[in-house]
Homo-oligomer: A and B are copies of this chain.
């Protein structure tokens, strides 16, 4: 059985004759005749009563035609869908990021992206910032917001992410424009756990500076750390892409030897995989969007007064 044969069958049924149908299908009459013969042979059921000059579907034929119509319709819809996917106006896009980046960067952008590309279904995949890269390599996501790259990935820079010290407004350090890791040597610290990429940067800086500050709490929830810092219980170290309340606390860039600690966030995709057109649009528009909108942008001017953050990779 064959979509072609079914198409022929239906055309013959509609046209009321082999010759007429063959014309419509740009086929010769014998070809149509043989297609129906093959179909009848395979299904084991006569589809037409050949009565003299006329031609009429058997009751079996009628049923096959009904079902064949449905089948062809569905096949057509598949073709249409493929064309839509090809055009880039439709498709499914899985985007990965850390919970913070999804909340602060991707979600706001995607709500706009969805309006501009109603055919594209965007799905978020959330994972710790340190594990997003694997997800991308494995193909779980087509696009990821990361701070560390790989040869396998192509990418595009978006915005810098700094390491911030969040302290109570009453704290003596809160008047400073920046804090060096050395200054934190004796501060009781509120740190994120190692699932956060930013934790790695801070640990590395502490190691290099040869300091070992006391760790009061290690958490997976930045908000918890910030709340404790607000109560004066210590200094929270968080990346600049977290949501920081306007009142009660101050966020101050952390530096090491005068340079802010951080990485550029960039949007990455897998070089080895097919990268559909709408994914390219996503990347382009995201880059445009984050030129002016990204978490911690209000700190950027203060940071630029120090020095440009180091970019790895």
> Which residues on A are within 8 Å of B, measured CB to CB?
1-3, 43-46, 49, 51-52, 56, 58-60, 62-64, 67-68, 70-71, 74-75, 77-79, 81-83, 85-86, 91-94, 139, 142, 270, 272-274, 276
Contacts and interface: CB of A to CB of B under 8 A. Distances in A.
A23 to B, nearest CB: 23
A142 B59 contact: yes
29 contacts: A1-B78, A2-B2, A2-B3, A43-B79, A43-B82, A43-B85, A43-B86, A44-B82, A44-B83, A45-B82, A46-B274, A49-B272, A49-B273, A56-B273, A58-B276, A59-B91, A59-B93, A59-B94, A59-B142, A59-B276, A63-B85, A64-B78, A64-B82, A67-B81, A68-B78, A70-B74, A71-B71, A71-B74, A74-B74
B78 A67 contact: yes
A142 to B, nearest CB: 7
A59 B3 contact: no
Contacts of A274: 46, 49, 58, 60
A226 to B, nearest CB: 37
